[in-house]
Amino acid sequence: MLKKVVLGRTGLEVTRLGFGALEMRDVVENGGRLPSEEHAGAVLNAVLDAGINFIDTAPGYGRSEEFIGRFISARRDEYYIETKCGRSQTGVPRARSEWSREAILRSVDQSLGRLKMDYVDVLLLHGPTVEDVETHDCVATLEEVRASGKARFIGVSAIAPHVETFVSWGVFDTFQIVYSALEPEHEATITAAEAAGAGTVIRGGAVKGAPLREQGRGNEFPLVRDRWVRSGLAEVLEGRDVVSTMFRYALAHPSAHTFINGTQDLEHLKANVQAAEMGPLDSDLQSRIRERVMAAVAAEPTA
């Protein structure tokens, strides 16, 4: 049975293991990783069958919203949905107009159409800077969407230094924050967000698969991979499933509410569920991992 926790002041009781739907972006022939459209349905239904009740998506995640609407909108009462606005496609340079009131309102309506829903539970700004939000008064737009009933709660997905400022404003219900054993930079920010009453949604908790491959998606991957190698964690974790162990390390953060691990592999999904059910690592192993990683981080050149 997956453990649940209250997502801050939203009051939503979410499973500690959520599902990040980025891998639902498209089929192989269109540049995605899904072997077929039907496989997206198999994965999404398996997510719900496993008891996971929090799903994260975004317009920038290709056909992810479309597949959610197509394959599991009929099971809407079994899960909470989080989507985003402000970035039309992952990897494409951000245009300032994406943060305008008109662009956000249009994005929300398009998302609801693809999801086949009347509302989303959480609506996030997708990776803005403080300047983006202030210039376009995005908070006022999100509050307008919330007042309309199209989103129950509002938040932001962001990284340092912007996320610390957003937490200090006290206006967002939730924050999506990157955190793992190999990316501890936002550790204190997660604590601050929860202390302010907000929900915390963690991405990257399984260290982006860095122990298993030398190359991967995302700007953060090279840094994460380098820290894995320099910390010598392969020696510490010998004989263990390293990705599951890394996820269980992240689970120990007392202010982290739900972790949106994503996959299109049904066996990986099962492994994520098993790791979540096992819970955090024992304190001795947790400390050994932390000591190795923090030493590697301390040895990095400063900008």
Annotated catalytic residues are 61
DSSP string of the chain? Answer: ---EEE-GGG--EEESEEEEGGGGS-BGGGTSSBS-HHHHHHHHHHHHHTT--EEE--TTSTTHHHHHHHHHGGGGGG-EEEEEES-SSTTSPPPGGGGSHHHHHHHHHHHHHHHT-S-EEEEEEES--HHHHHHHTHHHHHHHHHHHTSEEEEEEE--TTHHHHHHHHT--SEEEEE-BTTBGGGHHHHHHHHHTT-EEEEE-TTGGGGGG-S--SSTTHHHHHHHHHHHTHHHHTTTS-HHHHHHHHHHT-TT--EEEE--S-HHHHHHHHHHHHH-SPPHHHHHHHHHHHHHHHHTSPP-
For residue 112, the tally of other CB atoms under 10 A from its CB is 18
